[in-house]
Each structure stands twice: as C-alpha cells, then as structure tokens.
Structure 1
Amino acid sequence: MRPVFLSLFLSLHLHVLLVSSISFTEFVFPNFTASNLKFVDSSQGAFLFSRNATFKAGMFSPRGDAPSNFYFSVVHVASDIIIWSANRDSPVSRSGIMNLLPQGISVSEDDKSQTVWSTPVLPSPVFALRLMDSGNLVLLDRFNVSLWESFGFPTDTIVAGQRLPVGMFLSGSVQDGNFSTGDHKFLVGESDALLQWKGQTYWKLRMDTRAYVNMNFPVEYLTITRNGLVLMGRNGTSVIIQVALPPSDFRMAKMDSSGKFIISRLSGQTMVSEFEGPANSCEIPSVCAGIGLCHLENASENPICSCPDELHLDTDESTCVPNDYSLALPVSCDTSNLSYLDIVVGVSYLSNRFVSPAQMGFNLTSCQDLCSRNCSCLGVFYENTSLSCYLVNNAFGSMSLEQNSADNQDLVGYLKLTIKEHSKDRRNDISHNGSGFPLIALVLLPCTGFFLLITLGFLWWRRFAVMRYNSIREKKSFQRGSFSSGDLGSFRIPGLPQKFEYETLERATDNFRTQIGAGGFGSVYKGTLSDNTIVAVKKITNLGVHGRKEFCTEIAIIGNIRHANLVKLRGFCARGRQLLLVYEYMNQGSLDKTLFGAGPVLEWQERFDIALGTARGLAYLHCGCDQKIIHCDVKPENILLHDHFQAKISDFGLSKLLSQEESSLFTTMRGTRGYLAPEWLTNAAISEKADVYSFGMVLLELVSGRKNCSFKSHSHSLMENRQDHRDHSSSSSSSTGLVYFPLYALDMHEQGRYLELADPRLEGRVTNEEIGKVIRIALCCVHEEPALRPTMAAVVGMMEGNIPVGNPRMESLNFLRFYGLRFAEASMVEGQIGESGDLVFRRESSNSGGSRNSLSYVASQQVSGPR
C-alpha cells in the first residue's frame, strides 16, 4: 500500500512541480531544484513544510549574517531557529541551489558549478524527500524505507525526540552569524556527556549539581524529552543521567558558539534558556584570548579578561604574547633555543581537572624537558606538593583566575617560548679565539671532565647506600606498622592532595589549642595557615592502614571527590602513627549546634535548602563518584554549614582509613544510634540505602527542630516550645516521658495533620503542604525494607519537584510502632541526659530481650564514639 500511496501522491503533485514555485507539504520528489530566489516570494526561501508546519526546509541565511551566505537548512517555524544545515562549511550565494536527484541531495552555486555538499552514496534510488514533524529530513526509497536522515548527521542542535548515540557530537559554530564548524564540541561518551575545546575536555554533565546520576551502566544515547535531558542505557530501558526540567511541548539543546551547552524551551515564539553548562563563563577555555586570565568581578556573569603580567595581547587580540620581544611562541620543533616563562600562580586550567598528570614525582626541570621533547606541547602546569606535571598540547586556552580561593595556590603555569635567533647570537657573543672557539672552554674542558668522573662515582656510591638504608628502614617501618611523612614521597599516586608538615599544622592550630569538634574518627581543631586561610585540622585515631601506598591511595580517593555539598579535603600529614587531615573550614559549624542550640531559629526555607544540599551530596557519593561511597554515619553532627547555611557533608570515606580491628565492626554495626537503619541489627547486607534511612531521620529532625528521641514533660503537649536538653537534666524521671518523634510523624501523616509536627519556633511561617511534602519523603526514606526506600537521586528529584513525591508504605513502617513502644518503656525506667546530650539508660530487670530490645534502651548512644 505504501508504494501505491507515494505513486498517487507523485501523480497529483507532478504538474504543480513543473509549472510553479510554491512550497510543498511533507514530500518533494526527485528532479527537483530549489533556491532562495525561486521561493523567496511565496515562503521566504522555504520549499517544504512538515505536515503540521512545525518545521520548514529551504535555502536560508542565518540572522545577522551577510546576505551572500546561504545554507540548505531545516528551520523550526515558531522560533525561526535553524536546527540543521547541510553545507555549513561551504555557504553559497542567494542564487545557490539544492538539487534532489535519484542519487540523493546536492548543493552547488549553480547548475554548472562544482558541488559543495552532497549526501553519501545511497544503496538504492531516491523516491521522495520527506520533512517530518519531528524536524527529521528523510530520503525514502520506493518501499518507504529510509535511505538517509538528517538526524543521523547533526550539526550544532538536537530537538525533542532526536537521539545522539555514543561517539556522536554536536559542533558549535564559529559565531552566531557564521555556521562554519567551530572548536567547541558536545560529545556523548560511554559514561557521561562532555564539552571539549580543540580536543581538551573542560566540562562534564555529571559534575553539574542539576544532573542526577541514577546508575552507572554504560550510556547508549542522549535524547531530549518533554521533561528534560536524559542519557539512556540498557537497551534504552534505564535512565543513567537525567537533567529534570519543567514539562514543555518543544525543547532543543544546542552547542552554542560561546562554548556553552544550552537547553531551551519554546515560550510563545522565542526560545527561553533553561540549562547552561558550564554555568561559570570563566570555565570555558576560549572565553578570553589564548593564555589569558579570566575572572568574574563581584559575582557578575560577564567575564573580565586580561593577560599575565609578563604578556600582552598580540595585534589581532587572539592570544597573549611575551612583553620581551626577544621571546616568541614556538613555531617549530627546534629544541635548541627554548625557554620557559613563569606566567601565573593560583589559576585553574580547566582541562587539568579531567586528565591524569603526564608524570608524577618529577621535578620542574624534568617536567619542562618532557614538554620540550613534544612538538605539540605549548606549556606546562606544575604542582609542587604532589610533584604533578600537566602538559598543554595543541592549543593553550584561557585560565580561570580564582582570586578568592586558595585551592590552586600550589599550581604554577609555565609557557614554552622560543628565543629568537638574533637574541640567541647576542647571548652567545662571548670572548672567542681567532678560530671562533671560546678561550674559556680550552681551560675548563679538561678540568670539567676530571671532576665529572669523580662526581659520577660519588653519586653511584651514594645511590647504592641510600637504597640499602631505605630498604632496611622500610622493613622496620612495616614491622612496627608505622610510617613517616617523608616516606610518602616515594610513591607516585595521581590526585594525592597537598602534604603538610606536622610542625606547620602545629603552628597553624597554636599547638592544637582550639578544639571545634570531636567524633569517632578523632578531634577537630581550628587552624590558620601561613596564607591566612582558615582550616579545620582533624586528628585521626585508630588508624590501621597496612602500608604506606595503601594509605596514600585512600587519601587520594577522598581528596579527589569534589562537590558543592561535600567538605573538601585540602591536604594531610602523616608522622609515625599520627594522621592529620586538613579540611576547608565551615564557619557556621555543624547542623546540630544550629538546629538544636539556643541561637536564632532556622527558617523553613533554610532548613529545606540544608536538606536539599545534603541530599545532593549523598547522591553524588552514591552514584556520581568513580567509586561508590557509603557514608554510614549521616547525622546532623556530620552536616556542616558554610556561608548562607550551605550544607556540606563531612567524614565521608573515612571508614577506608580505620584499623583492621575497627573495620571489622563495619559488617556488624557502624554509625550512630537513632540514625542506624534496621539492617544493621540483622547482619544483613549494607548498601547505600542505609544512608537513605539515616537521611530520613535527619529530615524529621529538621522538621521538628529537636532530636527524634527526647524527653518531654507529661504535662506539656508536643507542640510546646522545645527547651534545651540540659534544662531537662534536673527534671525527675517521674515528670518526664520519652517521645519518639518518627512514630508521632507517622500518626500525624495518617491524619494529614502535618502542621503539628513543625518546630513551634517557626510560629506559623510554614504551610501544611510544605511540611507534608518533607514528611512524606522522610517516611519513604525510613521504610524497613531497603528496596522500598528511594535512591538519593530520586530524593533530590522529589524535593525539587521534578519527580512526584512517593506515598509511604504503611506496612513497611509498622516497625516504628515497635520502636516507639520500647522507647516509651525506656522512659519508665531510670534515665538521665548525659553532658553530650545523648540518652543513657539502665535496665531495671535482667530480661535482656533481642537485639531490637537493646536498641530501645540505648537510643542515642554512639557506636563510633563521641561527636
């Protein structure tokens, strides 16, 4: 039936094709020619419209371009945006033509000119050209089988429903008015989508806080949907990474000429930007001239560009060049006249984040020699503490100048330069004899050879002695189970953070005078480094790493984890059995002090933002890192607050550093009572869902503003203002009762009375709907069966409104009634509040009961130690 349909369609339109230049709907047929001039009167150059006139095809000139450049293109009618162009690198004039022949499509300047673009050789003759309402331009054979599709050859844009398979990419234009292929690419990889500039990666999708990583299966393709952008895997059945956006009937994604990947939706007749990556323009290496510096002043979105002090812009303002005119950028592979210029300290060169160092353990001279031997190398970045050497190959982009950050103060950039010949001659113009050979060389050469032999012999003997000494020392070190800070330098482990000397941290903390926290992993002290950077120094106890290399590897893993909602590890120090970790300082302290303390009350939006930030950090640990990390101790004490109450999770990954004896507890119990998931008590397998449970308990505390298990006076209602825990220490046990808030939240959820759960200090500044949303999410997180709990990525989606909030399964929450009963029984026995605020109980009977009973009587006692 399909061939018959096409034949009838052909017969009906053949006469019109031959005698008129009007536009057509959905189909045109071979031996058809179109130009902008031919169709300009009827439809501004369009000769073909899709069935619903959503898209049109023709010879068009982009907005703002000179009228002499025309392209065979597909245009979205409502927004008048070109979504695909054939001859993007070979524009034609207004009289240029598109020919549809049985062999395919071709574009040329005129009938007699050479073809500038054509479709590849096709397996069978073309019967029709069809423009679909999806925007796909398709060549069909007589059996209606696709021979070629524009969706298979994307340019800089994809639209809703279009797929971009692994290995394919979008190439940005040179500029808005010039469709020629530029240097920016948006590429779909096997595990992520990324942006590249001249082959250098400068952004990845999964590093963006708005992207949710659901699982770590291989990616098969990327597509745009009504609800956002997704990377699909497992034969198109599983979402690997998702950017959830508000529903829209039409959406497109573009590799913009600015170097940003932009997702936009149709609003009226214009496209409105919804997502841009990277958000910071200074993270694009082409935003400034080559070797230039970029920074954002006063949080402005407009980048400010400059050259390093020793450089200035060249005449065409495309790159920074040396102020010293005897030096020039290298133009050949000649290594005899090279020099290196120290260009800047404390910058971020974006491609360094996504590649391993070319070498580790090299000194600066060796790093520069490595670049000198590489013709494509234009400069190096060298990190002094880790002895890491990064090469900049093929093109040197602009650098991000982070003036208010100490993160990159150890990274120095060096530019490879050529010494011009006339300058080289002047430098070599020293005293010569008549034959042109330097006189001084005749005197020094014999002496130099003699001393060189002596020096080589001494170095060989010293190297042998040092190797023997280190071998004996290492053997003794392993026998003692200890190692020194100096021993760590012999290992070349990529990503190792800055190594501090013990004396440096001792001075920074004023001999560890100001303690700001304590926990199962050790005590935390406030310190100030020599550059006035405030840090938090944690002394780790119970360290039991089996070898130095294993220890360094674990530190490198933790140090390489970067996320806006995770506390950053800045460095470490190891001396003997002592281990110190240096973290960024959080000036607002921990959540428990802010939430449960006597200071100003946290407003509802602040609480919600803290919960959302914590959820994002946990989601990144679970599925955004190269190695999945289960925190195992999520609680308010481990949620730190920075400026504007930005939440950052601490103590993640430290279980990797516990001693063998301490690590054995991991299979039975690790964390803090009151936040432990039920599976810890049954010796069941522990997964990331244990963190989800703990997060649910934290959510409940954020709602109520007090501990989930706390003493309340029997004469007072639950909604009365909470008093500080220490106020209750003087109350008699007969006048106090133990309230288990999760059970109370479950009861109020069943009745829909969510406002009764809110912190009374909010005094009505929150609605029943706002509380209800968070309570439902929290109850879903604390399901007894781990499989029923959502992933943290799903929790983030529910909190942001991109995923519907789930309904708690009551049958999986009945265990809370058992816990509540036991806690109520516990309130009837003698109890008291410890100085730390934890509950301590003493049983009155000898009937021990099971593990669940024992849980009831040590509700808040910590297994991992005091925090």
Structure 2
Amino acid sequence: MRSKFLVLFLCLYLLLVSVSCASFTEFVYPNFTASNLRFIDSSNGAFLFSRNSIFKAGLFSPGGDSSTHFYFSIIHVDSDSTIWSSNSDSPVSSSGKMNLSPLGLSVIEDGKGQIPVWSTPVLASPVYSLRLTDAGNLLLLDRFNASIWESFRFPTDTIVLGQKLPLGMSLSGSTSLYNFSTGDYKFVVVESGGFMMWKGHNYWKLRMHTRANVDSNFPVEFLTVTTSGLALMGQNGTTVIIRVALPPSSDFRLAKMDSSGKFIIRRFSGKKMVTEFSGPTDLCQIPFVCGTLGICHLDNDSENKSCSCPDEMQLDAGKKTCVPVSQSLSLPVSCEESKFSYLELELGVSYFATHFTDPVEHGFELSACHDLCSKNCSCVGVFYENTSRSCYLVKDSFGSLSLVKNSPDNHDLIGYVKLSFNKNSIAQSPGNKNRGSNFPLIALVLLPCSGFFLLIALGFLWWRRCAVMRYSSIREKQVTRPGSFGSGDLGSFHIPGLPQKFEFEELEQATDNFKMQIGSGGFGAVYKGTLPDETLVAVKKITNHGLHGRQEFCTEIAVIGNIRHTNLVKLRGFCARGRQLLLVYEYMNHGSLEKTLFGANGPVLEWQERFDIALGTARGLAYLHSGCDQKIIHCDVKPENILLHDHFQPKLSDFGLSKLLSQEESSLFTTMRGTRGYLAPEWITNTAISEKADVYSYGMVLLELVSGRKNCSFRSRSNSVTEENHQQCSSTTTSSSGLVYFPLYALDMHEQGRYMELADPRLEGRVTSQEIGKLVRIALCCVHEEPALRPTMAAVVGMFEGTIPLGNPRMESLNFLRFYGLRFAESSMVEGQNGESENMVFHRRESSNSGGSRLSSSYVASQEVSGPR
C-alpha cells in the first residue's frame, strides 16, 4: 500500500509540474529549467519578474499563441514592450527550454538534443543566481553577488533608461514586428555621433535631425537614455557631446532601431507608448522603403509616400523588386556575364549612398565609369556627376531611390542601373527569327528614295535658317545702339548651355515688385522671390554693366550657368530688358556666412559646422580653379559671398561676374579688387594676379571662422588677448585702443603653439587645440606673401581630408603681416580721429625698388572697389 501511495504521489507531482508552475520574483538559481508551456497558465509564459513586477522574463512569442517562433526575452509589463531577446536569429517552438546551470544560460530546442541555439559566453566564475532588476537588466551573479554577465552589455535592438550603448556597439533592427531575426538596419555609435546603416552603408546620422543639439566636439564614448532625453556622452561620461532634449519624465522610456529603418524614442504615458522622437523624418531617406530600385516620392507638405519603378522597369511584387520590362534584359545575377547594358535613370533621382561615400574616381569619363562597374563583380550600378566627372559605384545590391521635386542639386548626378543580356530570351524572341529572309522587298526600294528626299529637305531648311540669321544680324546692327540691348527675341542666335530665360514681368511678380531686398554689393541689389511653382529664388539686378549686345551678355551667362557644383550657388536663369539685366539664383535659406558668424543674434556655429563650411568652400574654389573647362578666379572671397543652405551647407556666390562690369568699374577692378581684410598682397603691388589671390582670401576667411570675429576689428582685450599675453604682443598685435589685427595674433600664437587662445570664446571649450591648430596652419599657409608658396585649393582640400600632410607655414613669407598690422592700427587711429568710416581698403601702388611689397598710406573707400556682397 505504501509503495502504491508513493507512486501515485509522484505521478500527481509530475503532472502538476508539467502543467503549470508559479513564477519567481527577482531571483532564480542554477539547475533551473523553464519553458513557455510550463509557465503558460500562471504567468502567460513568464518565469521571472523583477521585484516590483516592472519587467518579466520568459520564452515568449511576439505573434501570439498560434506562432511557432519563441524567444527568451525581457518585456516591460505595462507596455508589453520587448527590450531584449537572446535567440533572435534562432527561435524555438513552444516546447523550447531555457536552462540555468552553474555554467550560464542557454536556450535549447526540445527534442533536438542538448546543443543550445543560444548561450552565454564562458564565464569567469560559476553562476550562483539569476536576477532581473526593476531597470530591466538581467544579471548572472557569482556567490559574492558580483555580476559576471548582464543583458545590458549585449543589447539587441533597444536600450532603456539608464542603459549605455558603448562606442563601436550597435542596435540591430529586427526583420519585422513579429520576426526578431536580425534585419538590415543598424544604429552604430561612433566617435562623431550616431550613424544609421543599411547593409553596411551609412544613410543617416543623428546630427542631421533638427532636434539634435551638438554641445561639444569631444569624441563620443557612449549613448544613453536619460529622464530628459537622449545623450551621447564623452570625457568619461562627464560631458554631453550630442543631446536630444525631451520632456523630463521618470516614466519608462526606450530608444530603438526599428524594423522600419527608423531610430525612435518612445515613452510609456497614459497606458500606452508614445513616440517622442523619430528619424529620419523624410521616409524617402530610408534605404529600402520602396524595395529594390523602387523610386520613393514624398510631397513636401505630406508624410505620405508613394512608390514607382523607373522607366522601362516594372514591379515584381513577389520579390519587392523593380525588374526590366524587356525580357532580353535582367538584373545581374552572375559574375560570369561579360556584356552589360546600363539603364539611365530620370533626372532628379538620387541614391542615399552617394551622400555618405566618396566617389571611386574623379575626372572620369562616363564610359570609363561604366567599364569600371562592368569589370567589378559586386557592382550593380553607377552614379555619375557631370560637372566634377566623379564616378560612384553601387555595390552588392540596390536599395530604394528617391525623387526630390524642384531640387536642382540632384540634376547633376545621373544614375545608371547595370543590366545583363538574357541570351536565352534573345535567341527565342520571334523578332530575331529569319529576320533577313522576311525583310519586305518594298522596303528595299522605298528606304533609299526616302533618304534622298530627306537630305533635300534638310538642305533647304539649313539654307533658310542661315538666311534668317544673316537678316537678324544685319537688323540687330541697324537697331541696337552701342551700350544698349535690342528689344528683339533672343532666338536669333544659338548659345549652348544658356539657362532659363525669364520675362521681366515674371520676376516683378515673383519679387512682389522687388519689395524684399536681402542683399547688395558692387553688382547691384538682391531680392527674394517666389516662382509660380513655389520655388524660392534670389534675383540680382546687375547695374553699370559694360556689355554692348544681347549675344555678348548671353555668352557670359551661359558660361556661368554651366558651372555646377554642390558648393557653388546655381544660376537658374536670367532676364534682359533694355539696359537692365537680372540674374536668378537658387535661394539660400540661411543667408550669408557673414551674418551667421558675426551676427549678434542666432545660435553659435559649432566647430564641426565651421569645419564643414571651410571644407565645402575649399571644394567650391578648387572646382572653379581646376574643375571647370575655363579657369575662373573669384577675386572676392569673403564671408558675405559664402552663402549657407540646409544644414549650413556652404555655397560660393558671385563667381564669374567680373566680365559683366562696365569699362569704368572694370578698369578700377584691374587696379584692385576685393575687400579690406581679404586683399592679397599682389593686388597692392604690380605682381600678376592668379588663382592664388583667391587662396589668400580664403586663408583670411578661415582665420575668421576660427575666431568668430572680423580679422580687422576693434575688440576688448579680455575677449581677444589675455592679460598674460598682452604685454608680449602689444607692440605688434594690438594698439593702445585695444585693436587686434587677428592674422598677426594668430601667427604669434602659432609660433608659441598656443592655439586655444585663438578659438571663438563662444565655443566654451567645445573644441580641442589640435582641431584649432589644423585650421590655423592651413590658413597661414594660404596667406603667404609669395603666391608660389601658397597651396592650391585642391591641396587645401587634401589637407582637410587628410590625404595630403599639413603644410608648414614659412615664417619668412609671413613677416609682412607685422607691417600690415602696423598700418591697420595707424589707419584705424586716423579714422577714429577724423571720424571717417572704418570700412576702408588699401590702394594699389607701384612696388618698391627692392621688390618687396609695401603699402601706401593713401586709401579709397571700399564701396568704390569692393566686389559684390
């Protein structure tokens, strides 16, 4: 009887254990096994809760009871948000088990042996307990309660309040909402911030979001979620580098790399999860939002997107891929093909990868770019930039494309999709069978006759065109007076590359009768306008020009209109009405660098923004000097002529306009052009003018970017020169009135290696001495007195990018700055005594017999000689 009772008791015990078990609070201990079925009744699959039941751990299925995919996960109880999963790429069935042993944690698929689908790494000491904290951290503890493994150190797609994501680690988005397998999207912490990647290619960075504030330029060490938002920290966690400020809250908050390709921050509020932050805001910036080669369209005033395929392609819905309509062509599927075709994409179509990678080649012909892709097995397409002749390769696989309306920046970059010839389809195509034998006999007779009559018709049309052009030329000479434009149509002559022609009435209406003036300079006033398609433009009225005919004007405009570069303001069109000439430019929404850098209002430019502006401006000048068909010397590089677009992207303006000046102005500009503080010494001596004059002016602008103030200005000693330094540099750098000639001060500090003295005090330490020293050294190399010692702008770009070593300033060619500083101080004192305007420039004079450059004490007002502003 006793034995029967014991057997019955054991059977009943095993039955109860197999059906359901009570969950545990905060701790479980080794030699413990859990499955979803074992805890399904009491805790819906959870075997462990944190002390206050804020989080739970167990084997769960995101797809509900009917799913066959179970993951060992940690879930926030109130919001049902999964914050961590162990076996994301190896789900188990409902009978799968989680085992806790002295060796660690493991997940095993029941019935498939004891080989785990996931396990913790080899641990330093035996496991004593498993603990789930109220912060959501799962810990393995040794017998001294010391942590030997934590889930917080191995995040999957999410981090929560108080958790850190260290430098070099990433959050990997899942495949979908119900499939936790690792997807193609990833958020990575790097020294400069946070980047989002798709299949290893960058497509967005946290700095791009309007709510991301850059507080410092120290290297980033980790990302964390706080009660006041998101923060990227540096300097051992003591300094905020980048922050996303959110409403302060102690509620549950998480940051997640979502399966949709967005980086999101959510907070539990009012019994539901609320999205507080999401990026990118433009859905078309997500690399696979429309599938392979799908073109994403997004209205400016809408968050809704639509997808389409490129011309000559159609959607394969099953594969979410756009494929060629022609059966004789297909996307490359093998490296064995030797012949390829390239399908050209429409204008305005861009690809995310070209914004974050450098071209593989510069100065390349399109055919050579295609050949490079054809020889590369992993290449699936190319993008080609016509102006710089740059070649970008798209490797491994294509994502989605995007089409931005009214964006002239994208029209210079043309995409090409690599296609393979389908030999079987060509061979089986009915059009290729007996083509020669079935060719109609009547076509053999009619084609030669048609060609003969076509040649006669073309000859007649050519003769008629020449006659009209001769008549128009004679008529123009009879009607057009010297110094004025005729009223006839511009179609009497043909000039390749001429931009859009606007009627004067169109521009009157666009500018509201030239109501809003946004700038002025040596070439005339600039007005803000809005075209009928809602595109913002800047309309410049050219005054006192020296052109004597419409053809001469259009020839110069065609040259300027054909110059396209991402760091040059694009000329959209023109208008000619009598003596009045108008140029229509793209509108720069952040105004000039002069207003942004020196303005009293508005945010301070951070160091990274200043660096990007300096590099972009250098690239624009390098293109004018060596990338155009005709070399162009700007002659008036200064902050007023550096305009800022979205994300403070710099664009040089007013290049190539000197040929439009009148004879009076052009003769003065031959004597000297430029503005005080940016004038190269060769303008003052009889030295020939070259592109190196622009290099000098650029160096002066670079020094102003460092200091945040004009090189030639009055400053209080407390803001420009420390009391410790004042005594040793007062004779050369400052005057008794507190005047500072900053280039000379920069030279003094460079000799002493004291670069932090030169930084804009508004940066408040958010820049390092090495970063300042790099720009100061480049600037001083640019302002050498001898033009031959100055680097080319292409070399300057190389110094910025690190492909060319930093130059060493030659002190013997910089001593002239001491004479400049003395003259500047004298002239400023004279201005103060006589009440004259501070805005003056040196006048050019003959060089001394010794050959050295010296400045005359005579001055002329800057408005008489300065270039456009």
Q: Same fold (TM over 0.5)?
A: yes
Q: For residues 651 and 425 of structure 1, do their structure 2 counterparts lie closer, same or farther at Cα, with a shift above 3 Å needed?
A: closer
Please state if 1:397 is matched with 2:399. yes
Show the 5 A alignment for 1:254-293: 254-293=256-295
Shift of 1:343: 2.8
Matched to 2:186, the amino acid is K
Shift of 1:195: 0.9
Q: Contact between 1:508 and 1:530, CA under 8 Å: does it hold in 2?
A: no
Aligned residue number for residue 136 of structure 1: 137
CA distance in 2, matches of 1:788, 1:157: 38
Residues 335 and 373, structure 1, Cα contact 8 Å, conserved in 2: no
Structure 1 residues 686 and 381, CA gap change in structure 2 (3 angstroms): farther
Q: Write the mapping of 1:332-411 to structure 2, written as runs, cut at 5 A.
A: 332-411=334-413
Q: Check if 1:22 corresponds to 2:22.
A: yes
What pairs with 1:239-638 in structure 2 (closer than 5 Å)?
Answer: 239-249=240-250, 250-297=252-299, 299-423=301-425, 425=427, 504=498, 523=524, 536=538, 569-570=569-570, 584-585=586-587, 614-615=602-603, 621-622=609-610
1:621 is matched by which residue type in structure 2? E
2:714 partner amino acid = L
Q: Secondary structure at the match of 1:288?
A: coil
Q: How many Å separate the matches in 1 of 2:118 and 2:396? A: 29
Q: Does 1:69 align with 2:47?
A: no
CA apart distance, 1:582: 8.8
Residue in structure 2 matched with residue 38 of structure 1 by the alignment: 38
Residue 90 of structure 1 corresponds to which residue in structure 2? 90
Other structure's SS at 1:382 match: strand
**Offset, 1:414:** 1.0
**Larger CA deviation: 175-184 vs 677-686:** 677-686
SS at match of 1:115: coil
The 3-state SS of whatever aligns with 1:287 is: coil
8 Å Cα contact 2:256/2:264 also seen in 1:
yes
SS, match of residue 282 in structure 1: helix
Change (3 A) 1:57 1:522: farther
Question: Aligned to 2:175, what secondary structure does the other structure show?
Answer: strand
**Residue 282 of structure 1: how far off its partner (Å):** 0.8
* Cα distance between partner residues in 1 of 2:300 and 2:122: 56
Give the partner amino acid of 1:104: G
Once residues 125 and 73 of structure 2 are traced to their aligned partners in structure 1, the CA distance between those partners, rounded to angstroms, is 24
Q: State the shift of 1:536 in Å.
A: 4.3
Change (3 A) 1:629 1:384: closer
Secondary structure at the aligned position of 2:171 is classed as strand
Query: Alpha-carbon deviations, 1:510-551, whole Å to 9, x = none?
Result: 9xx9996655686566799999987548899xxxxxxxxxxx
Partner of 2:236: 235
The aligned counterpart of 1:201 is: 202
Tell me the alpha carbon deviations over residues 10-49 of structure 1, each in whole angstroms, 9 at most, x when there is no partner.
xxxxxx9999932222211100111122222222222212
Percentage of pairs with the same residue:
51
Instruction: Return the alpha-carbon distance in structure 2 between the equivalents of residues 66 and 860 of structure 1.
Output: 81
* Residue 615 (structure 1) shift: 2.5
> What is the identity, as a one-letter code, of the residue corresponding to 1:303?
K
Task: Between 321-330 and 87-96, report the one with greater CA deviation.
Answer: 87-96
Match of 1:168 in 2: 169
Question: 1:660 — aligned with what?
Answer: 680
Write the distance in 2 (CA, Å) between the matches of 1:102 and 1:74. 21
Matches of 1:688 and 1:43 in 2, distance apart?
70
Matched with 2:577 is: none
Q: Which 10-residue stretch deviates more, 366-375 or 46-55?
A: 46-55
Q: Which residue of 1 is the match for residue 667 of structure 2?
A: none
* Aligned residues of 1:508 and 1:527 also touching (Cα < 8 A): no
1:93 is displaced (CA, Å) by 1.8
In structure 1, the partner of 2:192 is: 191
1:52 aligned onto 2:30: no
Q: Following the alignment from structure 2 to structure 1, what is the Cα–Cα distance between the partners of residues 721 and 654?
A: 13
Check 1:527–1:39 CA distance in 2 against 1; reply closer, same or farther (3 A cut): closer
- C-alpha deviation, 1:220, in angstroms: 1.4
Contact 2:171 2:257 in 1 (8 A): yes
Q: Greater CA deviation, 366-375 or 517-526?
A: 517-526
Q: Is the 8 A contact 2:590 2:643 kept in 1?
A: no
Contact kept, 8 Å, 1:64 with 1:177, in 2: the verdict is: no
Alpha-carbon distance in structure 1 between the residues aligned to 2:339 and 2:434: 21
Task: Specify the alignment match of 2:714 in structure 1.
Answer: 681
1:162 aligned partner, one-letter code = Q
| Distance in structure 2 (CA, Å) of the matches to 1:503 and 1:190 | 44
Deviations 1:174-224 (A, max 9, x none): 111111111111111221211111112110111222212223222211111
Give the 3 Å change call, closer, same or farther, for CA 300–506 of structure 1 in structure 2. Answer: closer
- Aligned amino acid, residue 603 of structure 2: A
Q: Are the equivalent residues in 1 in contact too, given 2:50–2:132 (CA < 8 A)?
A: yes
Provide the C-alpha distance between the structure 2 equivalents of 1:332 and 1:638, rounded to a whole number of angstroms: 48
Distance 1:284 1:633, change over 3 A: same
Check the 8 A contact 1:569/1:582 in 2, yes or no: no
How far 1:589 sits from its partner (Å)? 9.4
Find the aligned partners of 1:67 and 1:310 in 2 and give their Cα distance: 41
Aligned counterparts of 1:787 and 1:429: Cα–Cα separation in 2: 72
**CA displacement at 1:106 relative to structure 2:** 0.8
> CA 1:634–1:225 in structure 2 vs 1: closer, same or farther (change >3 Å)?
farther
Partners of 2:45 and 2:181 in 1: CA distance: 21
Structure 1 residue 73: deviation in Å?
A: 0.4
Change (3 A) 1:170 1:34: same
* Alpha-carbon offset, residue 680 of structure 1: 3.7
**2:110 is the counterpart of 1:110:** yes
Mapped to 2, the partners of 1:387 and 1:47 lie a distance apart of 63
Shift of 1:652: 10
**Secondary structure, counterpart of 2:346 in structure 1:** strand
Change (3 A) 1:525 1:680: closer
TM-fit CA distance, 1:298: 6.0
Partner secondary structure for residue 345 of structure 1:
coil
Q: 1:246 to 1:225 in 2, by over 3 A?
A: same
RMSD (CA atoms): 5.4
* 8 Å Cα contact 1:227-1:244 kept in structure 2: yes
Tell me what 1:223 maps to: 224
Cα distance in structure 2, aligned partners of 1:171 and 1:227? 24
- Which amino acid in 1 is paired with 2:148? L
Contact 1:128 1:140 in 2 (8 A): yes
TM-score by length of 1: 0.57
For structure 1, the 5+ residue unaligned runs are 1-15, 433-500, 541-557, 562-567, 574-579, 594-609, 690-784, 795-847
Q: Does the aligned pair in 2 maintain the 1:167–1:188 contact within 8 Å?
A: yes
Cα deviations by residue, 1:460-483 (Å, 9 ceiling, x for unpaired):
xxxxxxxxxxxxxxxxxxxxxxxx
Aligned to 1:145: 146
Distance in 2 between the 1:291 and 1:231 partners?
A: 34
Structure 2 unaligned regions, length at least 5: 1-15, 436-494, 509-513, 543-563, 574-581, 619-636, 656-673, 684-695, 723-757, 768-825, 842-861
TM-superposed CA distance for 1:617, in Å, is: 6.6
Contact 1:214 1:241 in 2 (8 A): yes
CA distance in 2, matches of 1:859, 1:65: 82
- Shift in Å, 1:425: 5.0
2: distance between equivalents of 1:849 and 1:569? Answer: 35
Deviations 1:352-385 (A, max 9, x none): 1000011111111111111111111111111212
Q: 1:582 to 1:288 in 2, by over 3 A?
A: same
1:681 counterpart letter in structure 2: F
Distance change (3 Å), C-alpha of 1:312 and 1:626: farther
Classify 1:394/1:165 alpha carbon distance in 2 versus 1 (closer, same or farther; 3 Å). same
Distance across 1 between alignment mates of 2:103 and 2:298: 53
SS at match of 1:360: coil
